[in-house]
Each structure stands twice: as structure tokens, then as C-alpha cells.
């Protein structure tokens, strides 16, 4: 009886996402993979047939957050069981990768654990879980390759979309779990990416952000018929995707300073669809700390890359990541970080207190920095970065910037979009402009957004 209603009806899927954009993308991908099994996304775990916690390991206490969420899910799962139904609880993502066995031991509420390398097997795992409970499924299929199903079926949400081109990292920065949880660097073939980008463009996507943990290390199989010239780098991929009609803007993130090659720098000068925004983490301004972090670059090398990028594209907005309080960081080392921030002048940045990730080399280092000291340094760094962000945004006042309108704004009659420099822009404009690009005369700026009127009449927008 139950089998029939379950296989005919829709199933409720609740995904909770922690962490980075890569995880947001992965969650959307999991939802797409599970749609053919009859799963529809819902906003709350209550009554859900499948709950996925897509976890992130990059911050401290990530695992603890997952365990407390699992504690909250237990009564919901029990309530469902009392009603004769089943809730499958899955832990996905980097915490799952790192602590699979431990999760099963500590939280019996969990049915499945899957790391980022095996998302393609999710439908199979879910199907098996259903079968184990004696349920039949509306549809089952095998997925041969990690991204295959996505090439055809992908729910787009507005005119800006993410597209994963690369995964994993071989850099092994001593503070970071990514090389352990996401595995070795791996690039998707050019043809596969192009096919997905074309589908996105046909669905109304105007801007794509190419994603990868180490995106500028991209080295993908060339398109069929390329004459056997060997793998393509990111610059070539960007120029290739720029030829797709309808795609107006291309971005990529996150890059490593060591992999900023001449071709990619030249693309900023020569490819108008490549937006003038570069997220290039430096982590520290001290060579001693950069060495201890195994970053494989010096402060001078980083500044040299920034100078080359600025020579190619003078207006480019530079963004970065910083870690304060890495083991052994002295006040002098921290002063070097403030100095590199002064030298670069960031448009935007992300900064963190160093947090111990068990299993990484830095976790074993002596001379861990006192928490209060880290907090004090982070506040000083953020004060400086915040000031630079204010200045970068204020410098746009009086300019006409092309804005891609992405969605309705908070206020009635208002739209929210992005400038070429990735700034949020709020504009009074008709909803018909969502998905188009039009010039906005910037009249006001705060730390987090710009605003102003349309510089052209709504009918002139492209």
C-alpha cells in the first residue's frame, strides 16, 4: 500500500548547506540529480523524506554544528516513523569525507554518508536505501560520470549562474583540509563545460562564474577536433566560452597566485566578457608565515602578479582571503600583512582567524597564537579592509556602470544587480529588466552596495 503511494507521489527533499559557494553549487547539483527520483526541494526538515546536510570543514566547530543539527533531526525522524514513513538522513560534503566512520558511530540517526567525490552515486545510494526498506522507486538510473546528468538538466535561478570547471587541490597549504577532503586537482573536459554553458545561456543565463578550488590551475581535455594540441588552460577556456551567444559576462574563482599565468593576465586586457574582478587570496604578508603555510609564493611575488594584472586591466577590483594568527605569527609578521593590504588596496576581502583543522600539518605546529590576540589582529585587519572597501565603492559615485539585473530588490519597484566589479547595485527599474544589462548612474555607495537611477531609458537596456 505504502509502496504504491510513495512511488507515485512526490518526495520531499530538504538540503541544508554549510560553507562556500562550491557547496551551494553542489547542493543544487544534488537536487538536480535527485529530481528524477521524484524528489522536490522543501524549505524545512519537518516531514521531509530525505534530509541532506551538505557540510563544510573549513571552519572550526563545523563538525559540532553538524552533530547538533543531527540531534534536532532525531525527533523529526522518529515522528515520521510513528506515522509509518521514513526519513533518510544523509551527511554530505567535507565533514562527511573527513569523519565518515565517526559520524556513523556518534549519530545513529544518519543513514548515509557521502563525500564530495561520490555525489554522482547519490541517486544509487538513495535508491538502495529505499530498496532496503522495501520501497520501490518511480525511476532509477545509473550515472556513469560525475557531471553527466547535469549537462541536460539544471535548474537555473536567475541570470547569473555558477559552473564548476575544476575540483580538488594539490597545493597542500598547511592550514587547509581541501586537498584531503576534495582530493587531487581534476578538470572537466572543455566540451562538457561548453555544453553546460550553452544550456545555461539558452535558459537565459547572462553571467557565469567558473568555479574551482584552484580554478586557475584548470587544465582540461581540449574540445573534439582541436588537432591534438593538448590540454587547455583557463585563459583559453574563458575565450572559448566568451564566443557563446547570450553569455555576456564571465568570472572565475578561486585562484592561486602561483597559477596566474601570462595568458590569463592577457585575457583581462583582451576579452571584454571577462569581468574586471579577481579573487586572489594571499593569506599573509609575511614571507616567514607564507613559507610555514606552504603557500609556494612570497609577498613580493604576489605584489608582482597584482601589478601585472593591473597593467592589463587598470580598473580591476582585487579581492583576497587572509588568515590571522597562524602558528608562529608575531606582531611583526602581522604588520607585514597590514602592509601588503596597504600596497594592494582591496575592493573586497574575506579574513579569518586561524583555526586548527585536525590532520593538517599546521595543527601540529607549536607556538599557536592566543585567541584574544587573534581576535585583536582580525579586528585591526578588518578595519583596514573595510575602509578600503568603502573607498572603492565611493569611487564609483558619478560613474555610469553596466549592471546585470538579477532579481527584485527589497523595496517595491526596485531591482538588485551586480556591477562589473561584483558590487551589489540597487536601482529603481521595472521587473522586465531582470536578465538584462543597463547603465546605472551611481549616486550613492555604502560598504555593501551601490545605488542610483538608470542612466538610459528602460527600453534602451540590452
Of the candidate spans 115-123, 173-181, 392-400, 416-424, the one that interacts with ligand SF4 by CB under 6 A turns out to be: 173-181
Considering the complex, what minimum distance in angstroms separates the CB of residue 59 from ligand 5AD?
A: 7
Lookup result for grid cell 526538515: 45
Select from 70, 127, 290, 323 the one that contacts ligand 5AD (CB under 6 A): 323
Q: Which is nearer to ligand 5AD, 122 or 323 (CB)?
A: 323
The answer to whether 279 contacts ligand SF4 (rule: CB under 6 A) is no
Q: Which stretch binds ligand SF4 (CB under 6 A): 96-104, 176-184, 302-310, 395-403?
A: 176-184
> Who's near 328: CB < 8 A, 6+ residues apart?
288, 289, 292, 365, 367, 369
- Write down how long the chain is: 462
Angstrom distances, CA of residue 93 to CA of 116, 216, 454: 5, 23, 42
CB atoms closer than 10 angstroms to residue 318: 22
Q: Which residue has the cell 581541501?
A: 178
Q: Smallest distance, Å, CB 363 to ligand 5AD?
A: 8
Whole-number Å distance between alpha carbons of 436 and 386: 30
In the list ligand SF4, ligand 5AD, none, the entry touching 251 (Cβ below 5 to 8 angstroms by class) is none
Give the residue with the Cβ less far from ligand 5AD, 90 or 253: 253
Site string for ligand 5AD, 330-369 (x = CB under 6 A): ----------------------x-xx-x------------
Contact between 172 and ligand SF4 by CB under 6 A: the answer reads yes
Residue 176 binding ligand 5AD, by CB under 6 A: yes
Q: Does 171 bind ligand SF4 (CB under 6 A)?
A: yes
Residue 373 near ligand 5AD by CB under 6 A: no
Residue 169 touches which member of ligand SF4, ligand 5AD, none, C-beta under 5-8 Å by kind = ligand SF4
Nearer to ligand SF4, 166 or 393 (CB): 166
Do residues 159 and 434 make contact, with C-beta atoms less than 8 angstroms apart? yes
Exposed, middle or buried, 277 (CB in 10 Å: 0-12/13-18/19+)? buried
Among 179, 212, 420, 435, binds ligand SF4 (CB under 6 A): 179
State the cell numbers at 282.
594571499
> Which of residues 58 and 318 has its CB atom nearest to ligand 5AD in the complex?
58
Q: Does 209 interact with ligand SF4 (rule: CB under 6 A)?
A: no
Size of the site for ligand SF4 (CB under 6 A): 10
The residue with cell 540590452 is 462
List, in order, residues 6 or more apart from 167 with CB less than 8 Å away. Answer: 116, 182, 183, 185, 186, 212, 213
What minimum distance in Å lies between the beta carbon of 173 and ligand SF4? 3
Is residue 440 at the binding interface for ligand SF4, with CB under 6 A as the rule? no
Give the span between the Cα atoms of 280 and 253, in whole angstroms: 8
Calpha distance 162→197 (Å, rounded): 10
Selected from 48, 173, 324, 427, the binder of ligand SF4 by CB under 6 A is 173
State which of residues 176, 211, 215, 274 lies at the interface with ligand SF4 (CB under 6 A).
176
Q: Rule CB under 6 A: which of 271-310 touch ligand 5AD?
A: 281, 283
- 171, interface contact from ligand 5AD, ligand SF4, none, CB < 5-8 Å by kind: ligand SF4
Task: Measure Cα distances from 310 to 23, 276, 277, 318 in Å.
Answer: 31, 10, 11, 9
C-alpha distance from residue 250 to each of 217, 287, 347, 355 (Å): 17, 33, 18, 33
Q: Where are the beta strands (DSSP E) in 290-361?
A: 317-324, 348-353
Interacting residues with ligand 5AD (CB under 6 A): 58, 175-176, 281, 283, 321, 323, 352, 354-355, 357
Amino acid at each position: 500500500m505504502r509502496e504504491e503511494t510513495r512511488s507515485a507521489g512526490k518526495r520531499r527533499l530538504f538540503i541544508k548547506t554549510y560553507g562556500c559557494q562550491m557547496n551551494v553549487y553542489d547542493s543544487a547539483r544534488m537536487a538536480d540529480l535527485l529530481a528524477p527520483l521524484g524528489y522536490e526541494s522543501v524549505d524545512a526538515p519537518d516531514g521531509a523524506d530525505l534530509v541532506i546536510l551538505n557540510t563544510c570543514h573549513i571552519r572550526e566547530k563545523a563538525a559540532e554544528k553538524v552533530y547538533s543539527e543531527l540531534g534536532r533531526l532525531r525527533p523529526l525522524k522518529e515522528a515520521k516513523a510513528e506515522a509509518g514513513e521514513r526519513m533518510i538522513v544523509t551527511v554530505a560534503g567535507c565533514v562527511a569525507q573527513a569523519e565518515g566512520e565517526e559520524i556513523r558511530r556518534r549519530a545513529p540517526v544518519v543513514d548515509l554518508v557521502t563525500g564530495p567525490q561520490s555525489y554522482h552515486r547519490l541517486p544509487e545510494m538513495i535508491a538502495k536505501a529505499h530498496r532496503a526498506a522495501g520501497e520501490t522507486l518511480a525511476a532509477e538510473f545509473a550515472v556513469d560520470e560525475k557531471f553527466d546528468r547535469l549537462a541536460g538538466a539544471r535548474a537555473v535561478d536567475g541570470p547569473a549562474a555558477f559552473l564548476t570547471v575544476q575540483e580538488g587541490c594539490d597545493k597542500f597549504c598547511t592550514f587547509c583540509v581541501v586537498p584531503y577532503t576534495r582530493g587531487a586537482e581534476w578538470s572537466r573536459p572543455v566540451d562538457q563545460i561548453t555544453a553546460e554553458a550553452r544550456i545555461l545561456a539558452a535558459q537565459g543565463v547572462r553571467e557565469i562564474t567558473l568555479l574551482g578550488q584552484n580554478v586557475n590551475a584548470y587544465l582540461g581535455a581540449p574540445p573534439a577536433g582541436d588537432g591534438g594540441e593538448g590540454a587547455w588552460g583557463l585563459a583559453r577556456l574563458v575565450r572559448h566560452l566568451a564566443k557563446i551567444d547570450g553569455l555576456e559576462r564571465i568570472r572565475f574563482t578561486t585562484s592561486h597566485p602561483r597559477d596566474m599565468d601570462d595568458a590569463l593576465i592577457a585575457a583581462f586586457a583582451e576579452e571584454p566578457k571577462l569581468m574586471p574582478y579577481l579573487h586572489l587570496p594571499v593569506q599573509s604578508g609575511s614571507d616567514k608565515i607564507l613559507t610555514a603555510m606552504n603557500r609556494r609564493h612570497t609577498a613580493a611575488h604576489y605584489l608582482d602578479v597584482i601589478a601585472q594584472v593591473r597593467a592589463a586591466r587598470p580598473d580591476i577590483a582585487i579581492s583576497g582571503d587572509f588568515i590571522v594568527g597562524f602558528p608562529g605569527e608575531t606582531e611583526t609578521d602581522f604588520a607585514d600583512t597590514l602592509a601588503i593590504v596597504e600596497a594592494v588596496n582591496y575592493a573586497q576581502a574575506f579574513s579569518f582567524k586561524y583555526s586548527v583543522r585536525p590532520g593538517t600539518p599546521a595543527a601540529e605546529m607549536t607556538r599557536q597564537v592566543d585567541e584574544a590576540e587573534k581576535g585583536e589582529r582580525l579586528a585591526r585587519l578588518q578595519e583596514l579592509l573595510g575602509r578600503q572597501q568603502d573607498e572603492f565603492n565611493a569611487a564609483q559615485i558619478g560613474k555610469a556602470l553596466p549592471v546585470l539585473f538579477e532579481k527584485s530588490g527589497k523595496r517595491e519597484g526596485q531591482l538588485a544587480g551586480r556591477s562589473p566589479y561584483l558590487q551589489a547595485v540597487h536601482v529603481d527599474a521595472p521587473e522586465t529588466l531582470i536578465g538584462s544589462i543597463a547603465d546605472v548612474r551611481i549616486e550613492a555607495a555604502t560598504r555593501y552596495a551601490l545605488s542610483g537611477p538608470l542612466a538610459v531609458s528602460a527600453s534602451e537596456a540590452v
